[in-house]
Amino acid sequence: MKLKQLEGLLGDLQQFSDPKVELEQYPTGPHIASRMLFTAENSFGDISSKVVADFGCGCGTLGAAAALLGAEHVIGIDIDSQSLEIASLNAEDLELDINLIQCDVKNLGWRGQTVDTVVMNPPFGTRKKGADMEFLSVALKIASQAVYSLHKTSTRDHIKRAALRDFNSSSAEVLCELRFDVPQLYKFHKKKEVDIAVDLWRFVPKVNQGKGD
Amino acid sequence: MRLLTHNMLSSNIKGVSNGFPLRIEVGKVVEKQVDFNADFLRNMFPKIEWKAFVDAAKTVGYAELPEEVDSSALESEEFLNKFHHALLELHLEEGALVCPETGRRFPVSKGIPNMLLHEDEV
């Protein structure tokens, strides 16, 4: 599938109807989502025929992109039932089979590194400090191949240090810097639309011996 | 939810030492056809907890899988077809997953298990 085609399909997906600020629900736009998954597939072969988990999947944009690029098994995990309902409808519209789980990612119970690749647009931790780091920590425990994630560029050094030192990561690389459009979703947003600089990261987890926990 | 997801998910309630495998309570099971991908099955096989998988398949009404198996089975097309069907095509649509240690029920509705923990379970 071509990048433009992927972006077009993702652009038709339904997004949050009533976003919740405490969960930092910002939709992952089709521009960023398509580039993120396209890179994972075409530069690293981390998507097609793989087991892919989408952490904090929201309306399921990244998971849908993974499925469209040929992931064999896609799991979307989110704490919010309304988001999961939309994600389910989105998957149905595109005739994709995506397994959804309602769970707080930081409390996820999982048997070892049985997922190949985790993709995520985590809460940036603006409202709840450290939320993105909790996601990253869990992702690196269940993935065997790679974790793709978006984090604010301003936190780059901190992310790298934590990933390598504390989170079971053998490498942490910024693939590119992107502009994340934050539309005026919430009342506290003074400006109509702002964009913030975010990094697209690729982390490689250390693979532990044995089948799991 | 496919049985593949069930084979990975565990109960993470505070104090539980082994939350895997979750027991399945069946309300409704649906079948959805998926394209056959032998390479995927071969790659996935070593990561599957076989006993939990066979038990889960039986619980949802599919008893064709061998109780014991080693990687030589992957040569057999008949085996791969059964493995494919049980792993990817059977979905728990309604019912529950039950923590093997505490008996706590996690309901499954419209194929989505609700694994949210209560405050005192974290």
pLDDT at A211: 44
Between B74 and A179, the higher pLDDT residue = B74
Element (H, E) at B78: helix B77-84
Reported as a pLDDT band with limits 50, 70 and 90, residue A192 is low
Residue A22: per-residue pLDDT:
75
Q: What is the pLDDT of residue A90?
A: 96
Between chains, do A109 and B9 touch, taking CB under 8 Å as contact?
Answer: yes
pLDDT of amino acid A29: 85
Q: Tell if the CB–CB gap between A73 and B47 is shorter than 8 Å.
A: no
Q: pLDDT tens, A63-114?
A: 999 999 999 999 999 999 999 999 999 999 999 999 999 999 999 999 999 9
- Interface contact B112-A103, CB threshold 8 A: no
Q: What is the mean pLDDT of residues A17-26?
A: 76
More confident residue, B68 or A26: B68
In chain B, the domains with their CATH numbers are 3-117 (2.20.25.10)
Angle formed by the axes of helices A61-68 and A3-11, to 10°?
A: 140
Q: What's the token pair of residue A171? A: 């490498």
- Most A CBs within 10 A among B7, B98, B115, B121, hence the mutation to make, goes to B115
Residue A213 pLDDT exceeds 60: no
- Does the pLDDT at position A127 exceed 90? no
- Give residue A194's pLDDT band: very low, low, confident or very high (50, 70, 90): confident
**Closest chain A residue by Cα to residue B14:** A107
For the segment A36-53, the average pLDDT, to the nearest whole number, is 97
Enter the ipTM.
Answer: 0.96
Q: Could you give the percent of chain A with pLDDT greater than 90?
A: 74
Q: Do A107 and B122 touch (CB under 8 A)?
A: yes
Q: Do B10 and A213 touch (CB under 8 A)?
A: yes
Average pLDDT over residues B92-101: 98
The pLDDT of residue A183: 66
Question: Which two tokens mark A43?
Answer: 């530069």
Residue B112 contacts A, CB cutoff 8 Å: yes
What span, in angstroms and rounded, lies between the C-alpha atoms of A3 and A39? 10
A114 and B CB contact within 8 Å: yes
Tens of pLDDT, residue by residue over B29-42, are 999 999 999 999 99
- A16 Cβ contact list (under 8 Å, min separation 6): A25, A27, A58, A59, A82, A83, A86, A185
In the predicted structure, residue A212 carries a pLDDT above the cut 50: no
pLDDT of A197 over the 70 cut? yes
Asked whether the beta carbons of residue A99 and residue B1 sit closer than 8 angstroms, the reply is: yes
This prediction's pTM: 0.94
Of B8, B110, B111, the CB nearest to A111: B8
pLDDT in tens, A152-176: 999 999 999 999 999 989 999 999 9
Q: Is B59 on the interface with A (CB under 8 A)?
A: no
B chain contacts of residue A142, beta-carbon cutoff 8 Å: 8
Task: Choose the closest CB to A101 out of B44, B49, B115.
Answer: B115
Phi, psi of A150, rounded to the nearest 5 degrees:
-110, 130
Any A CB within 8 A of B10 CB: yes
